[in-house]
Chain A
Amino acid sequence: MPFNVLVAVSLLYVGLLFGVAFVAERRARGGSAVWLRTPLVYTLSLSIYCTAWTFYGAVGYAARSGLEFLTIYLGPTLVFVGWWWILRKLVRIGRAQRVTSIADLISSRYGKSNFLGVVVTVMAVLAATPYIALQLQSVTLSFGVFASDTPEGWALPDQGATALWVAAGLALFTILFGTRNLDANERHHGIVMAIAVEAVVKLIALLAVGIFVVWGVAGGVADILARIGASPIADWPLKPGRWAGLTFVSAAAILTLPRMFQVMVVENADERHVATASWAFPLYLMLMSLFVVPIAVVGLGIMPLGSNPDLFVLTIPLSQGAGKLALLAFLGGFSSATSMVIVAAIALSTMVSNHIVTPLWLALRVGSARAPGDVRGLVLMSRRLSIGAVLALGYTYYHLSGGSAALAAIGLISFVGVAQVLPAMVGGIYWRGATHIGAALGLITGFSIWLYCLFLPSFGEGGLISARVMADGLFGIYWLRPHALFGITGLDPLLHALLWSMLLNTAAFLIGSLASFPGPMERLQGVAFVNIFDQTSGPGGWARSAAEAEDLLSMSQRILGPEEAQRFFQAQAAAQGKLGYLPDPTPDFIARLERQLAGSVGAATAHAMISQLSGGATVSVQDLIAVAGEAQQIKEYSAQLEAKSEELARTARALREANDKLTGLSVQKDAFLSQISHELRTPMTSIRAFSEILMETDLPDEMRSKYAGIIHDETRRLTRLLDDLLDLSVLENRKVQLTIGVANLHDIITKAVTSASNTRPERVFVVQRDASAEHMPVFTDTDRLLQVFINLVSNARKYCDAERAVLRIEVKKRGGFVEVDFIDNGAGIPKTSQALIFEKFARLTDTSHAGGAGLGLAICREIMANLGGSIDYIPGQGGAAFRVRLPLKRSG
Chain B
Amino acid sequence: MHGKHVVLIEDEPNIAEAIRFILARVGARVTHLATGADAVAVLAAEPPDVLVLDLMLPDRSGLDILADLRAEPALAALPVLMLTARGQSRDREAAERAGANAFLAKPFANSDLLSAVRALTMGGA
Residues of A participating in the B interface, judged by any CB pair closer than 8 Å: 674, 677-678, 681-682, 684-690, 692-693, 696-697, 710, 713-714, 843, 845-848
What sequence of 0s and 1s flags, for each residue 12-35 of chain B, a beta carbon within 8 Å of any chain A beta carbon? 111101110110010000000011
Query: How distant is the Cα of A713 from the Cα of B59 in the complex, in angstroms?
Result: 24
Contact A674/B12 with A681-B106, A710-B17 known, Cβ cut-off 8 Å:
no
Q: Could you say which residues of chain A place their CB within 8 Å of the CB of B25? A: 697
- What string of 1s and 0s marks CB contacts (under 8 Å) between B63-88 and chain A? 00000000000000000000001111
Asked if B15 and A685 make an inter-chain contact with CB atoms under 8 angstroms apart, the answer reads yes
Known: A681-B87, A685-B85, A693-B22. A847 touches B109 (CB 8 A): no
> Interface majority SS on B: helix, strand, loop or mixed?
loop
**B3 CB-CB contact with A under 8 Å:** no
Chain A contacts of B110 at CB under 8 A? 689, 692-693, 696
Q: List 7 A-B contacts (CB under 8 A).
A: A677-B87, A681-B86, A686-B12, A686-B18, A689-B110, A846-B34, A848-B34
Contacting residue for A684 out of B22, B86, B88, B106, CB 8 A: B106
Q: Is the CB of A686 within 8 A of B21?
A: no
Q: Which residue of B lies closest to A677 (CB)?
A: B86
Residue of B nearest to A670 (CB): B88
**If A681-B106, A685-B106 touch, does A693 touch B18 (CB 8 Å cutoff)?**
yes
- The answer to whether A685 touches B34, judged by C-beta atoms less than 8 angstroms apart, is no
The minimal Cβ–Cβ distance linking A677 to chain B, given in whole angstroms, is 5
Tell me the complex Cα distance, A678–B86, Å.
5
Give the contacting residue for A689; candidates B86, B88, B107; CB below 8 A.
B107
For A690, the closest partner residue in chain B by CB is: B18
CB of B56 within 8 A of chain A? yes
Contact call B58/A688, Cβ cutoff below 8 A: no
- Shortest CB distance B113–A (Å): 8
Q: Is the Cβ of B86 less than 8 Å from the Cβ of A688?
A: no
Docked CA distance A684–B34 (Å): 19
Instruction: Given A693-B110, A696-B110, A845-B58, check contact A682 B22 (CB 8 Å).
Output: no
B38 to chain A, nearest CB (A): 15
A466 to B106 Cα, complex, angstroms: 117
CB contacts (< 8 Å) of B19 on chain A: these are 689
The contact of B107 among A687, A696, A697, A846, by CB within 8 Å, is A687
CB distance from B107 to the nearest CB of A (A): 4
**Which residues of the other chain, B, contact A687 by a CB distance below 8 angstroms?**
107
Q: Of A674, A682, A713, A846, which one neighbours B15 at CB under 8 angstroms?
A: A682
The answer to whether A848 touches B11, judged by C-beta atoms less than 8 angstroms apart, is yes
Nearest 9 pairs of A and B residues by beta carbon: A689-B18, A681-B85, A686-B14, A685-B106, A685-B107, A846-B58, A688-B107, A678-B85, A692-B110
- Distance between A676 CB and nearest chain B CB, rounded to angstroms: 10
A846 to B17, CA, bound (A): 16
* Contact call B11/A684, Cβ cutoff below 8 A: no
Whole-angstrom distance between the Cβ of A268 and the nearest chain B Cβ: 100
B58 touches A689 (CB 8 A): no
Complex CA gap A444/B113 in Å reads 110
User: B21 to A682, Cβ gap below 8 A?
Assistant: no
B59 nearest CB neighbor, chain A only? A846
Please, which residue of chain B has its CB at the minimum distance from the CB of A681?
Answer: B85
What residues of B have a CB within 8 angstroms of the CB of A674 in the complex?
Answer: 86, 88
Residues of A within 8 A of B105 (CB): 681
Residue from the set B12, B56, B59, B105 with the largest chain A CB neighbour count within 10 Å:
B12
Q: A693-B21, A847-B12 are in contact. List 9 more A-B contacts (CB 8 A).
A: A674-B86, A677-B86, A681-B106, A685-B15, A685-B18, A690-B18, A693-B18, A710-B17, A846-B35
- B70 → chain A, closest Cβ, in Å? 25
A682 to B105, CA, bound (A): 10
Give chain B residues whose Cβ lies under 8 Å from the Cβ of A692. 109-110
Contact assessment for B13 and A848 in the assembled complex, using a CB-CB cutoff below 8 Å: yes
Residues of B within 8 A of A681 (CB): 85-87, 105-107
Q: Tell whether, in the assembled complex, residue A682 and residue B109 are in contact, meaning their CB atoms are under 8 Å apart.
A: no
A-side contacts of B59, CB under 8 Å: 846
A677 to B86, CA, bound (A): 6
Question: CB-nearest residue of chain B relative to A713?
Answer: B14
Contacts of B108 in A (CB 8 A): 685, 688-689
Taken together as a complex, chains A and B put the C-alpha atoms of A811 and B107 apart, in Å, by: 46
Q: Which residues from B are CB-within-8-Å of A693?
A: 18, 21-22, 110
Q: Report yes or no: B11 in contact with A847, Cβ–Cβ below 8 A.
A: yes
Return the chain B residue nearest A699 by Cβ: B21
Q: Hey, which chain A residues are within 8 Å of B106, CB to CB?
A: 681-682, 684-685
Distance, CA A697 to CA B85, complexed state (A): 25
A689 to chain B, nearest CB (A): 4
Find the A residue at minimum CB distance from B83. A685
With a cutoff of 8 Å between Cβ atoms, the chain B residues found around residue A685 in the complex are 12, 15, 18, 85, 106-108
CA distance A49 to B121 in the complex (A): 135
Minimum CB–CB distance from B58 to chain A (whole Å) comes to: 4
Whole-angstrom CA separation of A606 from B34 in the bound complex = 82
Contact assessment for A682 and B12 in the assembled complex, using a CB-CB cutoff below 8 Å: yes
A847 to B14, CA, bound (A): 11
In the assembled complex, which residues on chain A have CB atoms less than 8 Å from the CB atom of B58? Answer: 843, 845-847
Q: Which residue of B lies closest to A703 (CB)?
A: B21
B18 pairs with A682, CB closer than 8 A: no
**Cα distance A320–B97 in the bound complex, in angstroms:** 145
Question: Using an 8 Å CB-CB cutoff, how does the interface string of B93-109 with A read, 1 for contact, 0 for none?
Answer: 00000000000011111
Query: Known contacts A677-B86, A682-B85: does B15 contact A689 (CB below 8 Å)?
Result: yes
Q: Which B residues touch A846, using CB under 8 A?
A: 11, 34-35, 58-59
Contacts of A697 in B (CB 8 A): 25
B12 CB to nearest A CB, Å = 6
Assess whether A710 is in contact with B87, with CB atoms less than 8 Å apart.
no
**Contact A689 B22, CB 8 Å, known A677-B85, A681-B85, A846-B35:** yes
Please report the C-alpha to C-alpha distance between residue A640 and residue B108 in the assembled complex, in whole angstroms. 67
In the bound assembly, the distance between CA atoms of A685 and B56 in angstroms comes to 14
How many Å lie between the Cα of A685 and that of B104 in the bound state? 11
**Residue of B17, B19, B87, B107 with most partner-chain A CB within 10 A:** B107
Identify the closest chain B residue to A844 (Cβ).
B58
Residues of A within 8 A of B107 (CB): 681, 684-685, 687-689
- Are B34 and A678 interface neighbours, CB within 8 A? no
Contact A710 B86 (CB under 8 A): no
**Docked CA distance A677–B85 (Å):** 7
- Min CB–CB distance A714 → chain B (angstroms): 6
- Which one of B14, B22, B87, B109 has the greatest number of beta carbons of chain A within 10 Å? B14
Rounded to whole Å, the gap between the CB of A839 and the closest CB of chain B is: 16
Min CB distance A864 to B, Å, is 27
Question: What residue of chain A has the Cβ atom nearest to residue B14's Cβ?
Answer: A686
Chain A residues whose CB sits within 8 angstroms of the CB of B88 once the complex forms: 674, 677
